[in-house]
Amino acid sequence: MRRLTVVFLLGICVAGFSAVDSAVAEQTAAAQAATPATVTNGLIAYEGPKRDGDRVLSNHIWVMNPDGSAKRMISPPTIEGAAVSPGLPKWSADGTRIAFFGQLYPVGGGIVFAARLFVINPDGSGLRSIATVRHDAGDCCFFKPSWSPDGAEIAFVERTNLFGGKAVTVARTDGSGTRTLVHEPSRSGIGGGAAWSPDGRSVAYLRGTDSENLWLVAADGTNARQVLSLPLGSGGVSWYISGWSSAGQLVLSRGHGGQMELFLVGADGSGLREIPNLTLINGYSPSLSPDGKLVAFSNSALDVNVIAVDPRARSADHPNGREIANDGHWPDWQHCRRPGGCLTPTAANRRPTLTVSRLWVQRAADGQRKVHVKFVACDQVGDVLFLFVIARKVIGGRVRGDAVGAKVYLDTGQFRPRTRRCQAYRAALRMSQPLPFFGRGPYQFRLQLTDTGNPNGVPDRPQLRSRTVVR
């Protein structure tokens, strides 16, 4: 995550399966051979909060590199005039779009009044609502959606009644309508998610009290049939669909007793086998990387972790996976098909700039003061940016502390520069606290431009001009 600070005086504050099981090792090799050379491990999408210190302001969809660098928030805090709580992101098969669910509620809080299925581009552009999702008293969505291989439709599981009934529904990505593939009115019916087959001919889903029965249904809703009964073992077991591997095998996860294992099975229900030596402690929502060597998953602390499938590739310091995102869950791995790769340059390699042309203070009608600032922001990536201002008094040529004994932040202004372009802005920012010593200057204004306000980000060091503003 990056942070860029400008001071008025504007200054700069500155990997394969274990050989123990040869059958699974062969599966990894087959996955790599079956994956075109242009398909690589891309970005990871996940759900996470935007914070102001310890306070969560809102939840959003984010993307990041597999090592946790270059985190970018891509979903907006409001949609159609309502606050939105998004989640369960899923990349399209070609890696160019992300689908996610969003629950809408009144700005400022209240009861969820609608749930939608959305599609968005990885840079935050092109947001569209494509379907309304049935929900029950604010309880909407449980499993990630699944894209058809051609990107024309998305399958998802939705609740249909107060008794836990669910359906596998298909929505067209152009927003032209939905259709029901299968429907089970009882709680012991559909569960565990749904996944479109790589050839586009069928959709896999789970049924049963513990989602222990694997079913397939044709893409037109016909020929629904059970193809496998999954082992339950000792009590408290639940099965989930985690998607498809690059080799065309269905990835299943089994949760029980605070841990989760991953299994691979053929598209016809044959050849079920566990990935050996891989147990996710307190883990859920696993996503297998396109090369089959890594698994991204969430844990009970609501962090995103990555673990190597091969135990020999795991760090002794992080045997259960390495944290790459604090406060995040529901990760999903992009299958990158871009010739130059899909990863985002890390903060140390970016050179965003902020040039301020004018800054002045004006009293608003309610007596509070606003800081007005005109500036140009240039961003090489297109992150979501936020502007903060801190005002301090200059006495005898020296800065004399922050206002009211602490930093005085102004309400956040949100800006979205386009990728590799510069854009001019004019912002009027209301101070969140009064400045009792405001009178004759001079005053020092520090402007801080950041993508999310993460205080632990790596600072950028662009060349910015300095200026003293005297009021």
Give SS3 for 343: coil
Which of 416, 318, 414, 417 has its CA nearest to residue 68?
318
Residue 420's CB is within 10 A of a number of other CB atoms, namely 10
Evaluate if residue 410 carries a pLDDT over 90. Answer: no
β-strand pairing of 369-379 with 421-430: antiparallel
The residue ranking higher by pLDDT, 364 or 23, is 364
The answer to whether 156 and 146 are in contact (CB under 8 A) is yes
Per-residue model confidence as pLDDT tens digits over 160-199? 876 668 899 999 999 999 999 998 877 667 878 899 999 9
> Residue range 304-323: average pLDDT?
90
The answer to whether 71 and 64 are in contact (CB under 8 A) is yes
The residue ranking higher by pLDDT, 372 or 312, is 312
The answer to whether 88 and 330 are in contact (CB under 8 A) is yes
Which of 238, 274, 273, 241 has its CA nearest to residue 259?
238
Evaluate if residue 84 carries a pLDDT over 70. Answer: yes
- Output the CA angle 169-174-176, nearest 5 degrees: 65
Provide the pLDDT for residue 191.
Answer: 79
> In whole angstroms, what is the distance from residue 336 CA to residue 342 CA?
6
> Residue range 242-264: average pLDDT?
91
**Residue with the two structure tokens 């998004």:** 86
> Residue range 312-328: average pLDDT?
87
The answer to whether 59 and 306 are in contact (CB under 8 A) is no
Provide the pLDDT for residue 383.
Answer: 45
Provide the β-strand partners of residue 7.
Answer: 446
Residue-averaged pLDDT of the chain: 75
Provide the pLDDT for residue 38.
Answer: 65
**Residue with the two structure tokens 């909060």:** 49
Per-residue model confidence as pLDDT tens digits over 337-354? 877 778 876 544 444 566
Question: Which of 136-145, 245-254, 269-278, 414-423 has the weakest average pLDDT?
Answer: 414-423
Could you check whether the bond before residue 9 is cis, i.e. omega within 30 degrees of 0?
yes
Split at pLDDT 50, 70, 90, the class of 257 is: confident
Evaluate if residue 16 carries a pLDDT over 50. Answer: no
> In whole angstroms, what is the distance from residue 103 CA to residue 81 CA?
13
> Residue range 372-388: average pLDDT?
59
HSE, side-chain direction, 13 A CA sphere, residue 443: 21
Split at pLDDT 50, 70, 90, the class of 157 is: very high
Query: The dihedral of CA 117, 121, 122, 123: what is its sign?
Result: negative
Per-residue model confidence as pLDDT tens digits over 381-397? 444 455 666 666 666 66
The residue ranking higher by pLDDT, 259 or 138, is 259
The residue ranking higher by pLDDT, 50 or 174, is 174
